Chains A and B, each alone.
Chain A
Amino acid sequence: MKVRQFGAIAAASVIALSLTACGDSAKDSGGGGGGDFKIGIKFDQPGLGLKEGSSYTGFDVDVATYVAKELGHDAKDISWVQAPSAQRETLISTGQVKMVVATYSITDERKQKVSFAGPYFIAGQDLLVRSDESTITGPETLTGKRLCSVKGSTSAQKVKDKYPGVQLQEFGTYSECVAALVSKGVDALTTDNTILAGYASQDQYKGKLKVVGKTFSEERYGIGLKKGDKAMCEKVNTAIAKMISSGEWQKAVDKNLGPAGFKVDSATNPPKQDACA
């Protein structure tokens, strides 16, 4: 009898717990902030879009906040939604978010599904190495070395096609690559220089890692919007242009990507926005 009572209590508490969990997620639909202007960002990329507890930091977050303000939405109206790479198009086309600001490179394939405002930043594929590394100076010096990237990512595919002599280890996330790099399991990590700079500026890796600084691709970060929403696209473009001319853009770059000694390629940045289609 005792056992049965205990079981009933345990079952009741489990049900109660799961109910509260449901209540929470229903309120803010898995995102942060209480507002109704939903913006998709990365939650796991330091320096660009990072969720720490209930606060959100990074260059993408700053750009999104500024653009939202120009569109008439205060910071407290914004609710942040996680936008993993594979789900960005779906989030936009189903209307779950108003815009996606998540290291979202403008490509022709993606343009068939969503519209892009921007670009607001021109990044490029680069290499992250340990700070005492001197032999790796660019992609040509990688032959026989171990390189790490995320499975299926554009960066990984580019290395496979262009530099077949490289030993490529792929993981599910960049954090695992950074761990392998620090423990000397791999010699370099490759993806966009902005993402690399974000990892190099994290407190636990400060001084241990450096970005090589020789880009070998051009990634034009845009803001993903509902396909064909030209009016919105033009408003967002105006907001980005204002952010650049007011100096806020530079401030955001210095604050989020500066600590790792990352130099923005001033030949391409700040970029001029494309005309809206």
Chain B
Amino acid sequence: MGDILGSYDVLGAFWLTIRLAFFGALGALVLGTVVAVMRVSPVAVLRLLGTSYVNVFRNVPLTLMMVLSVLGVTYIMGLPLSQDVQQNAIRWAIVVLSVYHAAFVCEALRSGVNTVPAGQAEAARAVGLTFGQSMVNVILPQAFRGSVAPLGSVLIALIKNTTVAAVIGTADAAGLMQEVIENETGSFSVFAIFAIGFVILTLPLGLLFTHLSRRLAVKR
């Protein structure tokens, strides 16, 4: 176990995993919020667009989207995000992670919107707030607080799903694990190192989100 930690850059690989997860989560949160607002908006076309987005990206396998981004979009259609092959793979991985998890963020947020009593939206409209104003000032702040726990689950899933990026050649933890298995053959200690690495990343986050969901829940 020690020799694997000594001869491979395990920390560097997990650092890339963290970066993928961080930027992927940021993108997913922004995109997911936009889609969630679309799904609860009073405009039928926007609702339809939002629903289609969720149904498409929630149901397409992540691996397929990853391979498509580099093999299909970069190489066959000729649309790279960077001229450097490694950078291109990392950027596409972040984009795909964001797009895929935005569908789940949207659904988590929508469940949060449902925790806000309908009377609040009606009251907001009654005092003359527009749809946008009532969303930003009344509904969304409560919706976020009500959906902390499901958003935490989405974040943990996202961190573990960064391993899929290895199929397009990013040098993240999963990519390094494949290298180690090729050289040292698959053994229990190899799997243990990488499993523990992911537990270190996700377990505290799970505890934090459970704590936050209690602290932040709107008392009604």
Contacts and interface: CB of A to CB of B under 8 A. Distances in A.
Best-buried of A110, A157, A171 by chain B (most CB within 10 Å): A171
Contacts of A113: 185
B167 A172 contact: yes
A90 interface: yes
A160 to B, nearest CB: 10
Given A90-B186, A109-B184, A151-B169, 10 more contacts: A86-B178, A86-B182, A109-B185, A152-B182, A154-B182, A170-B168, A179-B76, A184-B75, A185-B75, A185-B76
A169 B175 contact: no
B134 interface: no
B4 to A, nearest CB: 12
A176 B168 CA distance: 10
A271 to B, nearest CB: 23
B71 A89 contact: no
A110 B185 contact: yes
A233 interface: no
A171 B175 contact: no
Given A146-B85, A183-B76, A171 B182 contact: no
Nearest to A170: B169
Given A151-B166, A152-B181, A172-B167, A179 B71 contact: yes
Interface pairs A-B: 8 shortest CB-CB:
A185-B75, A152-B178, A170-B169, A172-B167, A152-B179, A167-B85, A183-B76, A180-B75
A87 B70 contact: no
A168 interface: yes
Q: Chain B binding site: helix, strand, loop or mixed by DSSP?
A: helix
Nearest to A176: B71
Interface residues of A, number: 28
A157 B179 contact: yes
Contacts of B76: 179-180, 183, 185
Interface string B175-191: 11111111111100000
B175 A151 contact: yes
Interface-central residue, B75, B84, B166, by most chain A CB under 10 Å = B75
Interface string A167-201: 11111100010011001111000000000000000
